[in-house]
A = this chain, B = another copy of it.
């Protein structure tokens, strides 16, 4: 099977590695607009060749779109215009907008909307790693809008990558990811800015920063080119969750201001219930 990866960065590159390694793809074609990334992807052996989009689509059985979500808005309709029997899938972090956009596209059935729940704070082809995706979930959205054979092929690919499948409609997906992914990035960015803003003696931060701080601030290294479009696309949900998060922080603030340590204990005990969810 020949597979094209459009956008050979963290996700596309890691997928390319796994597709070859598992023997799913006999050949991986890369489509990549950034010349430095093209060269790096070839150097690292992530892809077998770099082709322009049109040629890659014609030459492929499956086209996987792993660009930032803003680029998907142009890319998905464009690729669907060109496909015959190929299967097209994306890996974007938001789903409602793009699925609304292509709802009436004559080739809508060839597209399978997916979101593999894996990533790191790094980006670009150098960020691609072996063994990504294993034991993680992939969401498939609005499955019923895709052709059955396309869904079956996509399911097979993700299972061979070691992932388990979760089915969800796009609207629910976008709400859920606002909670379990997007807000984490905002808190991490804001935490980094909090520390960088006030702390002048950076050496002191560097010396004292322990595992806990690194853990909560790690996502602050994430790329704006990926995240601004996600926040824009999922704006309403992210704003809802952000408002809720600020009001939760205000409860901690009120406890400290009023020295209400009983309520502070309650808030922390409530938070401890996350143990049920995160092992």
Residues of A in contact with B (beta carbons under 8 Å apart): 117-121, 136-137, 139, 166, 168, 172, 176-177, 179-181, 183-199, 201-202, 204-224, 227-228, 231-232, 235, 238-246, 248-253, 256-257, 259, 261, 264-265, 267-278
Contacts and interface: CB of A to CB of B under 8 A. Distances in A.
Contact of A193 (B184, B242, B271): B271
29 contacts: A118-B210, A166-B207, A166-B208, A168-B204, A176-B201, A179-B195, A181-B208, A181-B212, A183-B191, A186-B252, A189-B252, A189-B268, A190-B251, A191-B245, A192-B271, A194-B245, A196-B273, A198-B244, A205-B277, A215-B216, A220-B272, A221-B272, A221-B278, A224-B268, A227-B268, A232-B259, A239-B256, A246-B249, A249-B249
Given A136-B210, A172-B204, A261 B245 contact: no
A50 B119 CA distance: 47
Given A207-B137, A274-B220, A184 B191 contact: yes
Given A189-B252, A268-B227, A209 B221 contact: no
A205 B231 contact: no
A227 B255 CA distance: 13
Given A181-B213, A184-B212, A198-B241, 10 more contacts: A137-B207, A189-B268, A190-B245, A193-B251, A194-B245, A196-B270, A197-B244, A212-B219, A213-B278, A215-B215
A269 B224 contact: yes
Contacts of A261: 228, 232
A242 B196 CA distance: 14
A214 B119 CA distance: 12
Given A202-B277, A217-B278, A246 B256 contact: no
B246 A209 contact: no
A166 B198 CA distance: 21
Nearest to A234: B256
Contact of A208 (B176, B240, B265): B176
Contact of A205 (B179, B221, B227, B246): B179
A219 B220 contact: no
